[in-house]
């Protein structure tokens, strides 16, 4: 388990804050600029003027005010569609090291299969995994992500995740999680993957004091995230909530009502469904968002709406693990805020944000006949819903005063052929064939240009990641080690 305080790794090389870019940038001649402002403005031949890390002006290129007509850097985005960067509100980034494992298992069986590999991770492995996961998110249109990191074997700390974010340039909301209820205490994970609760709480507070930045346009805000009702005690849930609320802007996150196994466990151990459990542990507040929530009943849905509790919808993971389909349209009807999450890329097994949004839309249509969950509404979940889950009012719109976080795809690519009359809808209906972003701007920095990540060597990262994955996967049960022959 983790030794010492997270602050040790937090101050290591590579974890220092990235400098705010200085100077001005003008992005002009944008074929379609979807601002996602309150009036849903979509602009042809658009332009965006950025000073340092903040948007100063957005509108038609021909309407550029004189003061914004020149800049230190001028870029043309002809044949591009631009939207605000999407916000991922549920992930376990370390899990991309064990993709395609336990392919035919439900949640509890899948977790039990993966733990033997995960408990072998070291600090450098965690950083490599997070960089790979962040690269995949960025290339698929995400500019801000949370991460639910709940396992700290060997020398791993939350600082290893933060190091990755600062190197790659992603706006990051890490949540310091924990597991404390091992098999010997009636929980699911092996004892070797768990922490003692006083030590976990101490590490949570150290992480907040070391890393949390509550300021506007912050690139890093901490959250606290005990793993789940079946991996921690109610005491840890209670104490984590008290701790988070000592600090401004520190939010709370965990899994809830993911599948029937989850509900059955809570009924057996705690004698209640999610509604009472949430009340008992003090998580019935508007600083909380839960992942999955496939199994909420009407009373729980109303509880979420009245308390301001958010949901991170993870459609691919829920389908992959046969957990169910969250009734997102009904949640929205009730006034519940819903954002998007890719979940860990071992239960998805992809971190493609745009493809996740597409699936979310089609599930509500195929499962509930809800044609009103359209392309723009689905994107709103991933942009506005995500920003609200994370407590952000400074991202999610291309408008003056908002952080300069936006992404662009080329519309002269094969995925848009035949759909250029509506490039915004084509992003969803033609995804994932529209491919990776051509440009990503995060906090005013151009992180992707001409389809290439600018902040690290992608091929070198992939090679390093595959080496780590191969080493860890040797600890999986024999039927899931590399090289296995599967008989159908």
| pLDDT computed for residue 432 by the predictor | 79
Give domain 24-85+398-453's CATH superfamily. Answer: Urease, subunit C, domain 1 (2.30.40.10)
Residues sharing a CB contact under 8 Å with residue 25, sequence separation 6 or more, in sequence order: 49, 50, 71, 72, 73, 74, 75, 404, 441, 444, 446
| pLDDT computed for residue 11 by the predictor | 37
Distance CA 131, CA 137 (A): 10
Q: Are 95 and 345 in contact (CB under 8 A)?
A: yes
What average pLDDT does range 400-425 have in this prediction? 97
Residues sharing a CB contact under 8 Å with residue 4, sequence separation 6 or more, in sequence order: none
Share of residues in the chain with pLDDT > 70 (%): 95
pLDDT tens per residue, range 280-335: 999 999 999 999 999 999 999 999 999 999 999 999 999 999 999 999 999 999 99
pLDDT tens per residue, range 34-67: 999 999 999 999 999 999 999 999 999 999 999 9
Q: At what angle do helices 197-211 and 158-168 cross, to 10 degrees?
A: 30
| pLDDT computed for residue 337 by the predictor | 98
Q: Is 248 exposed, middle or buried (0-12, 13-18, 19+ CB in 10 A)?
A: exposed
Share of residues in the chain with pLDDT > 90 (%): 91
Per residue in 471-483, is it b (16+ CB within 10 Å) or e — as a string? Answer: bbbeebeeebeee
pLDDT tens per residue, range 194-240: 999 999 999 999 999 999 999 999 999 999 999 999 999 999 999 99
Q: Are 274 and 300 in contact (CB under 8 A)?
A: yes
Q: Are 135 and 465 in contact (CB under 8 A)?
A: no
Q: Are 293 and 278 in contact (CB under 8 A)?
A: no
Distance CA 68, CA 48 (A): 9
Query: Kindly report the CA angle at 95 between 316 and 345, in degrees rounded to 5?
Result: 25
| pLDDT computed for residue 91 by the predictor | 98
Give domain 7-12+86-389's CATH superfamily. Answer: Metal-dependent hydrolases (3.20.20.140)
Take residue 42 and report the two structure tokens written for it: 């979509």
Average pLDDT over all residues of the chain: 94
Q: With a cut of 80, say whether residue 488 has pLDDT above it.
A: no
Q: Any idea which residue has 């998580």 for tokens?
A: 283
Domain boundaries, the chain: 7-12+86-389, 24-85+398-453
Beta-bridge partners for 63:
none
Question: Considering the entire predicted model, what is its pTM?
Answer: 0.95
């Amino acid at each position: 388990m983790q030794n010492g305080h997270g602050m040790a790794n937090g101050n290591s090389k590579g974890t220092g804050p990235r400098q705010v870019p200085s100077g001005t940038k003008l992005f002009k001649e944008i074929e379609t600029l979807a601002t996602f402002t309150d009036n849903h403005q979509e602009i042809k031949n658009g332009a965006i003027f950025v000073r340092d890390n903040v948007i100063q002006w957005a509108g038609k290129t021909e309407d550029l005010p004189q003061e914004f007509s020149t800049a230190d850097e001028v870029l043309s985005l002809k044949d591009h569609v631009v939207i605000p960067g999407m916000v991922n509100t549920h992930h376990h980034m370390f899990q991309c090291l064990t993709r395609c494992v336990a392919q035919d298992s439900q949640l509890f069986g899948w977790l039990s299969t993966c733990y033997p590999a995960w408990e072998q991770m070291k600090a450098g492995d965690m950083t490599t995994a997070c960089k790979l996961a962040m690269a995949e998110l960025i290339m698929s249109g995400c500019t801000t992500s949370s991460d639910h990191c709940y396992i700290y074997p060997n020398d791993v700390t939350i600082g290893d995740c933060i190091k990755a974010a600062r190197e790659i340039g992603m706006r990051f909301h890490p949540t310091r999680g924990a597991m404390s209820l091992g098999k010997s205490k009636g929980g699911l994970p092996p004892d070797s993957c768990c922490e003692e609760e006083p030590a976990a709480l101490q590490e949570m507070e150290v992480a907040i004091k070391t890393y949390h930045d509550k300021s506007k346009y912050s690139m890093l805000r901490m959250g606290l995230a005990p793993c789940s009702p079946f991996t921690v005690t109610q005491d840890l849930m209670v104490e984590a909530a008290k701790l988070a609320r000592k600090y401004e802007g520190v939010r709370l996150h965990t899994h809830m009502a993911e599948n029937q196994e989850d509900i059955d466990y809570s009924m057996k151990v705690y004698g209640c469904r999610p509604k009472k459990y949430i009340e008992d542990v003090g998580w019935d507040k508007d600083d909380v968002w839960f992942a999955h929530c496939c199994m909420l009943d009407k009373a729980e849905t109303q509880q979420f709406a009245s308390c301001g509790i958010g949901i991170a919808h993870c459609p691919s993971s829920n389908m992959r693990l046969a957990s169910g389909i969250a009734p997102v349209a009904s949640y929205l009807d009730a006034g519940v805020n819903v954002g998007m999450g890719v979940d860990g890329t071992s239960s998805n097994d992809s971190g493609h944000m745009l493809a996740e949004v597409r699936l979310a839309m089609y599930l509500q249509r195929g499962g509930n006949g809800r044609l009103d969950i359209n392309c723009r509404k689905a994107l709103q979940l991933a942009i506005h819903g995500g920003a609200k889950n994370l407590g952000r009012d400074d991202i999610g719109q291309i408008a003056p005063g908002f952080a300069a976080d936006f992404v662009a795809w080329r519309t002269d690519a094969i995925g848009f052929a035949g759909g250029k009359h509506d490039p915004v809808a084509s992003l969803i209906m033609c995804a994932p064939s529209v491919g990776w972003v051509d440009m990503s701007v995060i906090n005013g920095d151009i992180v992707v240009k001409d389809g290439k990540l600018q902040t690290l060597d992608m091929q070198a990262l992939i090679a390093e990641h595959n080496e780590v994955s191969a080493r860890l996967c040797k600890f999986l049960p024999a039927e899931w080690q590399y090289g296995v022959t599967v008989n159908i």
